[in-house]
Amino acid sequence: MPELSAPTRLYARARFLPRVLAAAGRTAAVVVVLAAVARADVESVEEILLVLEENDVAFDVTEAKRGAVMGLLKAVDPSARIVTPEEAAALQAEIELAEKTALIDKAEEWPLGLRCLKIRGLYAECGSRVAERVAAWCGADALGLVLDLRGAGGNDLASVARIAGLFAAPGTALFSVEGGGGGQGGVRTGDGKQPANMALVVLIDGKTTGAAEILAAVLHELPGVLLLGAATAGDARVREPIPLPGGEQMAYLAARRVVLPSGATCGERIDPDIAVSATAAEAKTPAASSAQPRAPREQDARTTLAERVGGDPVLSRAVDVLLGLRALKIGVDEDANDHSR
């Protein structure tokens, strides 16, 4: 195990010492221990424990050491926790079950060149399935795609790279991975193919987490991608069990860190470009978005589109954005995308 730097050791102690001191309730001991922490020559948790013992502080050594361990783990991942091998196995079983269920909730072709793809979770093979679907949609009549990540999670960084690469120019750096070992690090780039010829609106909310939240962050750094909805969970991490000494417990934490091309590290919540409340009383349907007279076929298409959107205000706003691009002829082949004829 590599030796921790002095700042890391001090940070960990600062995380667990307040718990010990609060339990001790000794003002004099507080002063003594804080002075010990401030010294540059403090090299181990045992030295802090010795200071407490020498000052006759009443505390539970086992709990103090556990606090030290948790302080270190939470310095790596604020949501880290200690689990038993049985609990780790149960977590893995949940992942395997999720991989066997439908990874895509909805994949629909809508009128006026729109497509809608709702992902349940980014697990193994999800990226390949999404790529197949998007490739089938990239025809001359494709106008825009609504990628719905609301409520989605997952743990597969390969799927993040696969999906993001669909909308990036060949060779574009998407993100890099630090830590994890096993050859999982390095920079992930686009897959070498031309990007999908569709505008992209990504829907997010407070339940967008894990690999799905990482995907939203990666896509947001690409040109022409719009995030719409509500702020994400702020937990864009992929966790895995790490064995602890003794073999009786495991640390369940994010061993890998995802860094974006901008230098930002995934983990904080992501705010949308356009905030839309999911509890709006009534969604404005695309059919009612303009008073201009329309050709019968387009009016029928908008009526059908309104039925597909239903009462979902976030989805309705996404459709409005894409239809707005169509009206402004932004990124639209006017002849190929004339759905009113």
Chain-wide mean pLDDT for the chain? 79
- What three-state secondary structure class fits 173? strand
The larger pLDDT score, comparing residue 206 to residue 142, is at 206
Residues 102, 250: one domain? yes
Domain contains 211:
yes
Domain contains 113:
yes
Domain contains 260:
yes
Residues 62, 111: one domain? no
Domain contains 206:
yes
Cβ count near 36 (within 10 Å): 17
Whose CA is closest to 126, among 146, 105, 111, 151?
Answer: 105
Measured between alpha carbons, how far is 286 from 310 in angstroms, rounded to an integer? Answer: 10
Pick the range with the lowest mean pLDDT from 112-121, 144-153, 162-171, 191-200: 191-200
Residues 64, 121: one domain? no
Residues 46, 139: one domain? no
- pLDDT number for residue 185: 56
> Across residues 81-90, what is the average pLDDT?
93
Pick the range with the lowest mean pLDDT from 61-70, 122-131, 165-174: 61-70
The larger pLDDT score, comparing residue 341 to residue 113, is at 113
- Output the domain CATH number for residue 323: 3.90.226.10
Domain contains 63:
yes
Q: How confident is the model at residue 112 (pLDDT cuts 50, 70, 90)?
A: confident
Residues 14, 134: one domain? no
- What three-state secondary structure class fits 272? coil
- pLDDT number for residue 278: 81
Residues 22, 158: one domain? no
Joined together, the tokens standing for residue 9 give 């050791």
> Across residues 141-147, what is the average pLDDT?
89
Tens digits of per-residue pLDDT, 25-56?
A: 444 444 444 444 444 445 567 777 788 888 88
Domain contains 334:
no
Whose CA is closest to 210, among 170, 270, 250?
Answer: 270
Residues 183, 231: one domain? yes
- If you compute the radius of gyration of the chain from its CA atoms, what whole number of angstroms results? 26
Measured between alpha carbons, how far is 319 from 287 in angstroms, rounded to an integer? Answer: 11
By residue range, what is the domain housing residue 250? 97-327
Domain contains 339:
no
Residues 64, 138: one domain? no
Pick the range with the lowest mean pLDDT from 52-61, 219-228, 278-287, 306-315: 278-287
Measured between alpha carbons, how far is 198 from 114 in angstroms, rounded to an integer? Answer: 9
List beta partners, residue 118: 106, 148
- pLDDT number for residue 44: 67
- pLDDT number for residue 297: 66
- pLDDT number for residue 295: 60
62 has a pLDDT exceeding 90: no
Residues 13, 147: one domain? no
Residues 101, 19: one domain? no
225 has a pLDDT exceeding 90: yes
Joined together, the tokens standing for residue 304 give 């059908």
Measured between alpha carbons, how far is 17 from 12 in angstroms, rounded to an integer? Answer: 9
Domain contains 41:
yes
Q: How confident is the model at residue 66 (pLDDT cuts 50, 70, 90)?
A: confident
Residues 113, 65: one domain? no
CB 212 within 8 A of CB 152: yes
Q: How confident is the model at residue 121 (pLDDT cuts 50, 70, 90)?
A: very high
- pLDDT number for residue 313: 93
Dihedral over Cα of 98, 102, 104, 106: its sign: negative
Domain edge (last residue) among 76, 108, 138: 76
The total of structural domains in the chain comes to 2
DSSP E strands, the chain? 81-83, 104-109, 114-119, 121-122, 144-148, 153-154, 173-178, 186-189, 199-204, 225-229, 240-243, 250-253, 257-259, 274-275
Q: How confident is the model at residue 321 (pLDDT cuts 50, 70, 90)?
A: very high
337 has a pLDDT exceeding 70: no
Joined together, the tokens standing for residue 51 give 């200071």
Residues 65, 112: one domain? no
